Structure 1
Amino acid sequence: MMRYKLFFLFFVTSIFCCQSGDEKYIRDLQISYRDISAGYFGADQKLFLVHSSCKEFPKEIVVFVHGSPGSWRDYKKFILDETLRNKYCLVTLDRPGFGNSMVDMSMPDIEKQADLIYEAMQDFRRQFSKLKEGTVFVGHSYGGPIIASIAKTRSSKFDQFIFISSPIDPSLEEIRWYNRIASYSLIRFLLSKEMNHSNEEMMPLREQLSGLVKDWKSQAKQFIVLHGDHDMLVPIENVKFFKNLLILGNKLTKTIVIEDENHFIPWTQHDLVVKSIMELEN
């Protein structure tokens, strides 16, 4: 029965996942939050970013990276959170192939996406020159391996990373039955571009995770791992792998396992995520 519920969720999401009208949506937010703005940042391939509270006194950046599928709106509640706004410059983005970022193009490669996000944030820093050194990267689900790639190849000693419901152990990653169904030509025709892109991201993930964790090292200052013990999409056993991997790099690491919690922590545990960000070392 659970299989059919998952497939129904997968199919319904495909119909509604393409979010339109962002320009009006952001204008409506600006009525109450005048410092919210949006734009395209990066080098040759630019990503769509929405940011808030970045123009006041110098602050560190928090960057939220959504899962698959997803969009910048997944973190809307966080960029409006007054506790976070008082301390941080808050940035949420559309990953390549989703929302307003190259939606016609599929990029099922965590390293390439990590590079584009890093380039977008470098461009963002150039335009907001008063920001403090150091970035907090928050990744949910598929966003976790992407920020892990940044941690491995692009991080500095000032950067910190929070992984939420994220896969990291290659041995736990598998192509699910609904991924195979979604790969059929007829089903692809029925699905939205974003759902097709999402399915394409899942297919090579196991191999890409193997490359990611091989010869692991990172310059980052701190890591936090949040995971629900009832996560039906990303097994809880990933937490142990995360812990062993990060301790191997001799980095400050904190893991939080949430009892009776599922995969959707950014929506169900907003206060805990905010608390975790606020407790990071400055």
Structure 2
Amino acid sequence: MQVVKILRQWQYYGLALVGLITACSPVPKGLEQQQLFVEQQLENNPALAKHQLDLGKLSIYSRSQGTPTLATVVWVHGTPGSWSDGAYIIGSPSLTDDMLVYALDRPGWGLSQAKQQGLDVSDFESQAHFLLPWFKQIKSMNPDKPLVIVGHSWGASLIPSLVSQSEDIDAALLLAGALDPSLAKPRWYNKFAGSVAGAWVLSQFDIGELLLDSNKEMYNLAPGLQNSAQELAAMGIPTIVIQGLDDGLVDPLNARYAKQHLPKSNSRVIELEQQGHLLQIESPALIEQCIRALLSQRFQDCY
């Protein structure tokens, strides 16, 4: 369990460090409470099944809980992150009462690691290469039930690309995701971390290597969004985008970009006043509301 403890630490302190160096917003107090919730209620809870799907060069780790009476829901985290970022989603009794909820470690994060050293999976193409067969496997277990993908931050940015390549995803909820390539350029702290001096500074921390991996993903974000406008326009499934207007990590103008390109007939874009980046911590009840709104296609119920 020592590995799990270390992963929890880098996830918490990594997000804290990002918040501090951006000087955009304070780290939410709820982040530490979420970590305690994971350790006390989820990590060793036998009700949360553990899965490790072998995909050749990499295996994907996930946890699941619930009953797929209504749907299957998949949580996809941002960067840095792990399955436990969706703690209040997979740990919600009201949600798991009639839905089977999965929370995964994205390729390259947590326990979803490459079998060979040096395999880089930090770009959109590599993420999709491993995630698409994983989704196919999950969908095949309950093919008659809709599969809803819920992505946060970098995980939300991936969704239009994944949907464009998959028939297994039936609805999508994008939380605080960068979608506009012009707004996803590396910032000063990304450039600092990518420099020799920055790499040396980060190497002095126990979590330095993981923070550098996070920075590598951020550099791959903008190139991965080059087809974002076309992919958003082609989203033929029920889609809801939620963006906080006090988000210090993802530009709130991404919401306008989504509204401009998504089909109006099957989508809704919500901009929340006084909402920061960590929607899964600060607004889990809203996320559940919006999942149910997607399934009923009553978008007005997501508010």
Shift, 1:134, TM fit: 2.6
| Structure 1 residues 99-118: aligned runs within 5 Å | 99-102=110-113, 105-118=119-132
The match for 2:262 is 246
8 Å CA contact retained: 2:236, 2:266: no
Aligned with 1:6: secondary structure?
helix
The match for 1:211 is 227
The match for 1:121 is 135
| Structure 1 residues 1-282: aligned runs within 5 Å | 5-6=20-21, 28-30=44-46, 34=47, 36-44=48-56, 45-54=58-67, 58-102=69-113, 105-126=119-140, 129-130=141-142, 132-155=144-167, 159-183=170-194, 184=196, 185-190=199-204, 191-214=207-230, 217-218=233-234, 220-247=236-263, 251-282=265-296
8 Å CA contact retained: 2:183, 2:251: yes
Percent identity among equivalent residues?
25
Shift, 1:197, TM fit: 1.3
Quote the RMSD (CA, aligned, Å): 3.0
8 Å CA contact retained: 2:71, 2:99: yes
Larger relative helix fraction:
2
Give the TM-score normalised by the residue count of structure 2: 0.76
Shift, 1:212, TM fit: 3.6
Aligned with 1:280: secondary structure?
helix
The match for 2:3 is none
Distance in 1, matches of 2:137 and 2:88, equals 25
Shift, 1:98, TM fit: 1.1
8 Å CA contact retained: 2:139, 2:147: no
Q: Any stretches of 5+ residues in structure 1 without a counterpart?
A: none
The match for 2:301 is none
Shift, 1:93, TM fit: 0.4
Structure with higher RCO (Cα < 8 A, 6+ apart): 1
Distance 1:252 1:130, change over 3 A: closer
Aligned pair count?
261
Identify the range of structure 1 (42-51 vs 162-171) with the bigger mean alpha-carbon deviation. Answer: 42-51
Letter in 2 for 1:230: D
Identify the range of structure 1 (79-88 vs 109-118) with the bigger mean alpha-carbon deviation. Answer: 109-118
Shift, 1:100, TM fit: 0.5
Shift, 1:204, TM fit: 2.5
Shift, 1:37, TM fit: 0.3
8 Å CA contact retained: 1:66, 1:140: yes
Letter in 2 for 1:47: I
Give the TM-score normalised by the residue count of structure 1: 0.82
Letter in 2 for 1:147: I
Shift, 1:196, TM fit: 1.5
Letter in 2 for 1:200: K
Shift, 1:254, TM fit: 1.0
